[in-house]
Chain A
Amino acid sequence: GAVVSQHPSRVICKSGTSVKIECRSLDFQATTMFWYRQFPKQSLMLMATSNEGSKATYEQGVEKDKFLINHASLTLSTLTVTSAHPEDSSFYICSADHRQGAGEKLFFGSGTQLSVL
């Protein structure tokens, strides 16, 4: 089946640094990828829709300059958390639209646990 690889799985960084998270579709092309954030014991919150070759669409309340998204190819989307602060500590998950049926089935990465000290 289709596989989405997310890297790194865990990152610990100092406050003020930037962190890049990669999301790759390994055996299919994904024109659209999605980025979610999940706090402990909570649900997944959609942050943004990443479109290949164009600007990402951000959900209300998500800072574009804080969470930079780049979708430069059909198999790779990156999320960069800029000038990270402790409140950005969270579990970040990406998903890719396999285009099997207008996005009926998405494939999720294994997530990235970000801890900002």
Chain B
Amino acid sequence: SQQGEEDPQALSIQEGENATMNCSYKTSINNLQWYRQNSGRGLVHLILIRSNEREKHSGRLRVTLDTSKKSSSLLITASRAADTASYFCATGDNQGGKLIFGQGTELSVKP
């Protein structure tokens, strides 16, 4: 079953701009992860943030987590055409590895 909602569903920006994607979830979580998927391909793990963390950085990626609002955001700074892909948030519980994915945001970065 799906529990995450992401917005926007689609985002189109110019190269160099920042891209922000949001994710909301419904139940309590152990961690929240963000993944990237190129069309017709598998998933690439981007970043994991634990429920006791509020912000995390990895290169051009910045993730925030607000457990009181049950929401997270992914910021990609200085976007590149190669960032064009679908981005999914996924929540993990304490039951060992089961992930529930959000609906995803389709990001298009125009050169």
Contacts and interface: CB of A to CB of B under 8 A. Distances in A.
Contacts of B30: 102, 104
Interface residues of A, number: 28
Interface residues on B, range: 20 to 34
B45 A111 contact: no
Contacts, number: 72
Contact of B98 (A49, A105, A107, A113): A49
B82 interface: no
B43 A103 contact: no
Given A60-B1, A105-B45, A105-B48, A44 B40 contact: no
A54 interface: no
B101 A103 contact: no
Given A105-B45, A106-B45, A32 B96 contact: yes
B31 interface: yes
A109 B98 contact: no
A79 interface: no
Contacts of A22: none
Nearest to A113: B40
A34 B42 CA distance: 14
B12 interface: no
B97 A43 contact: no
Interface in A67-113: 91, 93, 95, 97, 102-111, 113
B85 interface: no
Nearest to A111: B42
11 contacts: A34-B97, A43-B103, A46-B99, A93-B43, A97-B96, A103-B96, A104-B48, A104-B50, A106-B99, A108-B42, A111-B42
